[in-house]
Structure 1
Amino acid sequence: MTAAVFFGCAFIAFGPALALYIFTIATEPLRVIFLIIGAFFWLVSLLFSSLFWFMARTITDNKDGPIQKYLLILGVLVSVLVQEMFRFAYYKLLKKANEGLRSINPDETAPSMRLLAYAFMTLVIILLHVFWGIIFFDGCEKKKWSALLVVLLTHLLVSALTFISPHYGINLVSTYIIVVLMGIWAFFVAGGSCRSLKLCLLCQDKDFLLFNQRSR
């Protein structure tokens, strides 16, 4: 039972991301490099967030009570801001590199249900970061600062939803509504259309994505 729960939750959480990696990144060495760089930037942002949390806990002398509650909320806000700042820095790095690379082509719920909820939440967070990255980079490229603000606010909202983690229904439903909206936005930002979506769903044209990219 333990093994089944582990593999089930693991495939739910990381299956789609693994599929995205295999079909869109693994075949291109340059994309693998960009993926590793992006992961490095994200880890550095988490390092800075952890340093802030460590210093804040040290200053407050690990006191219990309302202080720690508000400190946790502040830590989440700072973590989101730091991650978005590093996302912007990653975009600027890619923008610069593109010029040189252009010539180179306490819970009541049963443990298994809790783990399942965590798996679904991990899945949606991975997808959201993919969609946020597409929308964020497009906003930077086209100077649509409102798009960057939407990414920042939705990131804050999803992070805030984790504070009601015992209420998995509200948490997951709200987050999945956000991921659907962000996914639709990212789809059209990436050059998708209603026609290409129809062709994809009906499997009428397996090369519609390549055609879309060439026509942009």
Structure 2
Amino acid sequence: MTLAEFFSCSLLAYGAPFVMFSITVANDPVRIIIMIAAAFGWLLSFLLSSVVWYAVVPLRSYLAFGMTFAIIFQELFRYGMYRLLKKTEAGLKEISENHDIGANKLEMAYVSGLGFGTMSGAFALVNVLADSIGPGTLGLQSGSEYFFVTSAAMTLCMILLNTFWSVIFFSGCDEKNYFKVSWVLVSHFFVSGISLLNRKQIYASTIIPSYVVLIITAMIAFKSAGGTVQSFIQTFQRRAT
């Protein structure tokens, strides 16, 4: 039973991102490099937020304190990735087998966001998945039986959000559209903030608002990338036939 729980939660959290990587990233070495660089950037932001958390001893016991600095550093490194990719865009075109890699400027934003989200998801769930294998599981004597599936669902949500956030953030920086940048910052703080409710095991209060934000963010990212309702319908019809 614990092994089934491990695989089901793993597929729930990482199934969609793995498909996205396989279809859109794995066929181009430059995209893989960008994704790895973004993942490393997220690691550096996590390291810096950990240093701040460790240095401020009186506030170590407050999760909100560590979460706040983690978000700030993540968004600073997201901006850093934007600046880095802007400066190296011409060089990336030269070495890429796909010379149209810069035709859609938000293509690299998507790859960067997927790298951010994948590393974030790995840190969020790997230890939980290790515990889910056994020898026992939560929900019998203490804890909620929905802990593992909730953790997997929230991990998927954060991976996708990071992907869409990067598209919106890069678009906002290009257009100097401060609404888009503000949406990324505010929604990141909101989703991360309500995740603190998981300590009280009121998971519905976390998952439902988070996925509402995910849907809205996906729509903004789709529009930022040049998508329209008509193009979406046409794409859906082509795939259906």
TM-score by length of 2: 0.77
Mapping for residues 2-151 of structure 1, pairs under 5 Å: 2-57=2-57, 60=58, 71-104=62-95, 105=99, 108-110=143-145, 113-151=146-184
Q: Secondary structure at the match of 1:202?
A: helix
Q: Identity over aligned residues, as a percent?
A: 33
**Bigger radius of gyration, 1 or 2?**
1
Cα distance between partner residues in 2 of 1:188 and 1:53: 37
CA displacement 1:77-134 (0-9 Å, x = unmatched): 1110110001001100000001333444296422xx2100100000000000000000
CA RMSD of aligned residues (A): 1.8
1:183 equivalent to 2:174? Answer: no
- Residue type at the aligned position of 2:237: L
Cα distance between partner residues in 1 of 2:37 and 2:185: 21
The runs of 5 or more residues in structure 2 that have no matched partner are 100-137
The runs of 5 or more residues in structure 1 that have no matched partner are 61-66, 207-216
TM-score by length of 1: 0.85
CA displacement 1:19-65 (0-9 Å, x = unmatched): 110000001111001000000100000000111111113xx2xxxxx
Asked if 2 retains the 8 angstrom alpha-carbon contact of 1:25 and 1:31, the reply is: yes
CA displacement 1:137-175 (0-9 Å, x = unmatched): 001111112211110010000110111011111100000
Cα distance between partner residues in 2 of 1:203 and 1:100: 35
Where has structure 1 moved over 4 Å in runs of 4 or more? none
Asked if 2 retains the 8 angstrom alpha-carbon contact of 1:13 and 1:119, the reply is: yes
Q: Give the drift of 1:6.
A: 0.3
Q: Secondary structure at the match of 2:226?
A: coil
Asked if 1 retains the 8 angstrom alpha-carbon contact of 2:168 and 2:220, the reply is: yes
